[in-house]
Chain A
Amino acid sequence: MSDPILQIDNLNVRFKGKRTVHAINDLSLKLMPGETLALLGESGSGKSVTLKTLLRLLPEKRTGLDGSISFDGTDIMTLSGKRLRSYRGGDVSMVFQEPALALDPVYTVGDQIAEAVMRHKGVSKSEAMATALDMLTRVRIPSPERRLKNYPHELSGGMRQRVMIALALACRPRLLLADEPTTALDATVQIQILLLLRELQREFGMAVIFVTHDIGVAVEISERIAVMYAGQIIEEGTTREVIADPQHPYTQGLLAANLHDVAKGTRLDAIPGAPPSLETRPDACSFAPRCPLALPACRAELPPVRTPGPRRRVACLRAGETIAAE
């Protein structure tokens, strides 16, 4: 088995300020080359913060960071200057939720892609433009020659997201980070973008971390799913394992709340309460206050991480028991 392309060990991210927020708590994650992982979680679970940490985009003064992140054997936490710049956008690139905000409104689509290619590959403008054209073709934009000269506001939402993807993939990154790239899109457009990302992933062979709050989207895009709650990964496994056999009560609750094939009129098994505010570092199971299966031990200490299979883990004392059994 080859080496992982990305390995995160015991990552902690803490935002300092009037109120300290422990956004990421002891997160470890391993990603193999060419793998597609969905980071699934609700708002405030730390999924977007994880992505920003990977790109070292967090404001350094206000953030307390420890743990290690290594990308293809390189320590990311100590990168700086030129090497950090070539890592960002060169080795790893990102697709954002709002392409309207992530694309620069005063440059044409072609110029933006070409600029990124010139910066990272050091090629001439005409070569970079040829790459840009090629990329627009690959993201299936109709009449790409004409679109090169368009400004972002002249494109529809779905087209802009395609451009965003073209821009992210133009330098052939080995890891693509996608932060809810389909959330702002209409249903019929969302599925097009998901299928496009799947095809491009196969074509380019890069690894993908896809952040989403929507289980359905995670199933469509990923081979593996990591479920986040309160800044921790509470369950991880292949998509098939997590969907067919969710072992953490939170994952089970999320799947039920998706309402897929829930009969009309039945009462929903809602997870009560709301996620914790994370002002203090969790010293017990963060989900225990909302968990129907919680035992006194769950509130007293951090839950054990069980590994029911290879690369499968659940951070729960009562892993595998179902809520219905209660």
Chain B
Amino acid sequence: MSATDMPTRTKAPLLSVRELKKHFPIRGGILGRQQAVVQAVDGVSFEVAAGETLGIVGESGCGKSTTAKLLIGLTQMDDGDIVLDGQRLGPDLSLKALRRDIQMVFQDSYASLNPRMTIADSVAFGARVQGLDDPQGRAHRLMARVGLDPDRFGGRYPHELSGGQRQRVNIARALAMSPKVVVLDEAVSALDKSVEAQVLNLLADLREEFGLTYIFISHDLNVVRYISDRILVMYLGEVVEVAPVDNIWETPAHPYTRSLFSAMPSMDPDNRTTKPPLSGDPPNPIDPPSGCRFHTRCPMASEVCKRKHPVLGRMAQGSPHWVACHLHDPASGHPKAVEEAPA
């Protein structure tokens, strides 16, 4: 795969991530010697166009949260490139500048606010650090924008707010830096369903108003489907499928994506799920299986899947649908590859 031939749908992506890699050593013993490696993120590449929302889904240990932290440099990558607006992190773009343009909203609304700091100070902190003008005024405007009256809430502390209100504060805090990209790491997952819908509406409004680009990480497929333009599926530190939301929803190509979809509750009491799509838990990312990492749980696995690592490629010439599976590569040697591959 060449650098210009990336899973995207526009010519000039706002954010492009190439071959991102992060392995965490596990140390043990008295001398702290390295005993094993967790391959948290292993060669993840994707691109996001300006104004687009990319949804990232996957189970625990698939590396979606690590990917988020790598994007804003909270975790240092071992290898790979992050290019924002044509500028490469490192040579062209400092980490501090990157952190102004990419902001993040975390899952735990309480843990992500300093308990000893008033809401207004928390929102203004980033703008103050970056030396933006009038941090306090910015904070007040954004609090008002996310639906929290700055005069009434500005002087309060996080524990005096409800979960939904706190998450609004976190959104305001991220926006106070006037970022281009906002990474939402399970940002609505901890909220009650009724409050979640309010926050999703708010996020949709803000995206429109500020021309934001979202990277929306969640385990809730319904939510990801609702908010995203494209969906990226991760499994054990790798991208297994990327496609526009309608394509992937109607014709999921990777066996893992299919399993993930059929594991969703049916919502139809007359037509309940009768057979689990997969058995067992996701394997440990410490020692990922050889070849295709999904082959140990895959209903379609064949001999080639154990040996050969599938490469992320287009489903067809010019298709925006990318998948990393031997089934969709006629040259792979998978016995069922031909019938599965589109003509």
Contacts and interface: CB of A to CB of B under 8 A. Distances in A.
Q: Do A and B come into direct contact in the complex, CB within 8 Å?
A: yes
Interface of A: 42-43, 156-159, 186-192, 194-195, 213-217, 219-220, 238-240, 243-244, 253-254, 256-262, 264-265, 267-272, 274-275, 290
A201 to B, nearest CB: 13
Given A42-B193, A259-B223, A219 B59 contact: no
B194 interface: yes
Given A195-B275, A220-B273, A274-B164, A257 B281 contact: no
A291 to B, nearest CB: 12
B59 A188 contact: yes
Interface in B41-63: 59-60
Nearest to B249: A264
Contacts of A216: 264-267
Given A158-B280, A188-B59, A220 B194 contact: no
A191 B268 contact: no
Contacts of B270: 240
Contacts of B228: 264
Contact of B269 (A213, A243, A272): A243
Nearest to B165: A274
B265 A214 contact: yes
B29 interface: no
A265 B281 CA distance: 34
A40 to B, nearest CB: 10
B contact face: mostly helix, strand, loop, or mixed: loop
B51 to A, nearest CB: 13
Given A259-B222, A264-B226, A189 B264 contact: no
The 10 closest A-B pairs by CB, nearest first: A216-B265, A270-B197, A186-B59, A42-B192, A271-B194, A156-B281, A259-B222, A257-B193, A257-B197, A270-B198
B281 A189 contact: yes
Interface residues of B, number: 45
B108 to A, nearest CB: 14
A188 B198 contact: no
A265 B266 CA distance: 22
Contacts of A214: 265
B226 A259 contact: yes
B194 A257 contact: yes
A187 B264 contact: yes
A8 to B, nearest CB: 24
B282 A186 contact: yes
B260 interface: yes
Contacts of B304: none
Nearest to A277: B162
A217 B198 CA distance: 22
Contacts of B274: 195
Given A219-B266, A257-B196, A271-B197, A187 B219 contact: yes
Contact of A253 (B194, B268, B277): B194
B277 A188 contact: yes
Nearest to B283: A156
A23 B60 CA distance: 33
B117 interface: no
